[in-house]
């Protein structure tokens, strides 16, 4: 079932987030907080740019500031919801009245965070929204095992033969995508779409560098295998094929 979900495109947008914030300093801070936990972030400053972005990428969540140069973002979200758009939305706003919060939910928002807010809370809420999916698409299990490798998604811990490994946020994100594919080949393009944002050059070697670091940390025998000209697969093999 996980393989089917991956093939349908679920994983492609699961941890890629769009942040729509016209206050530059706050936008950069929000993006940095999310990127620091391995989430890929695209940052735009108004509704027209957001409209272009959601048309181009399957985001796991969109974070909207309420008041933008083009107007109140809840009007845009309300219109997109009428057109069948289902991507989870978190509204950020300085408006803290009950009426304002209710309006956010009534116009298609899934969560609402009042400024100022703690970065840790924002990250937790965004991750929660990214985990949401339709009832026909299963969520990955909280703990995945590949041979003697254990990946605890909720605690963000990886162990091999019981030994806790120290991974960077990006390494964990890539490993999580590979594990979710359930022994299916993941292309470099899919990894970039899931784990990096629009600032990444598609032809760069960022994927290869992170995968090389993962391989060193996971140790032998190898679990991440190269499929020449295609991408990578995470699986236990009896004999080395790389």
Q: The domain that contains 167 carries what CATH number?
A: 1.10.10.10
Cα 159 to chain centroid distance, Å, stands at: 22
Q: Which domain holds residue 198?
A: 143-234
Whether the per-residue pLDDT at 20 is higher than 80: the answer is yes
State pLDDT tens for residues 128-139.
888 764 333 445
Verify that 77 and 191 share a domain, yes or no: no
Q: What are the E-state strand segments in 108-148?
A: 111-114, 143-146
Model-level pTM? 0.59
Number of domains in the chain: 2
State pLDDT tens for residues 207-226.
888 899 999 999 999 999 99
Q: Tell me the three state secondary structure of residue 159.
A: strand
Q: 218, 206, 136, 205: which is closest to 179 by C-alpha? A: 218
Verify that 81 and 120 share a domain, yes or no: yes
Burial class (CB in 10 A: 0-12, 13-18, 19+), 46: middle
State pLDDT tens for residues 143-176.
888 889 998 877 788 999 999 999 988 888 889 8
83's CB contacts (< 8 A; 6+ apart) are: none
Q: 111, 12, 122, 3: which is closest to 60 by C-alpha? A: 12
Distance between CA 42 and CA 166 in Å, rounded?
A: 26
The answer to whether residue 59 is domain-embedded is yes
């Amino acid at each position: 079932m996980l393989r089917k979900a991956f093939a349908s495109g679920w994983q492609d947008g699961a941890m890629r987030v769009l942040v729509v914030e016209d206050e530059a300093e706050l936008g950069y801070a929000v993006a940095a907080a999310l990127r620091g936990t391995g989430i890929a972030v695209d940052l735009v400053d108004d509704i027209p740019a957001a409209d272009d972005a959601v048309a181009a990428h399957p985001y796991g969540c969109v974070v909207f500031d309420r008041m933008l140069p083009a107007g109140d973002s809840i009007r845009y979200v309300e219109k997109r919801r009428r057109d069948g758009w289902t991507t989870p939305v978190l509204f950020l706003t300085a408006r803290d009245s009950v009426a304002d919060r209710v309006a956010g939910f009534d116009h298609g928002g899934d969560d609402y965070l009042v400024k100022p807010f703690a970065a840790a809370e924002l990250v937790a809420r965004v991750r929660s929204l990214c985990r949401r999916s339709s009832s026909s698409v299963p969520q990955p299990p909280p703990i995945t095992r590949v041979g003697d490798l254990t990946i605890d998604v909720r605690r963000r811990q990886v162990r091999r033969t019981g030994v806790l490994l120290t991974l960077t946020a990006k390494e964990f994100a890539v490993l999580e995508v590979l594990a979710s594919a359930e022994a299916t080949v993941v292309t470099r393009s899919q990894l970039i779409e899931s784990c990096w944002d629009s600032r990444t050059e598609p032809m760069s070697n960022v994927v290869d560098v992170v995968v090389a670091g993962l391989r060193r940390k996971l140790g032998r025998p190898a679990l991440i295998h190269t499929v020449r000209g295609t991408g990578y697969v995470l699986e236990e093999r009896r004999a080395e094929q790389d």
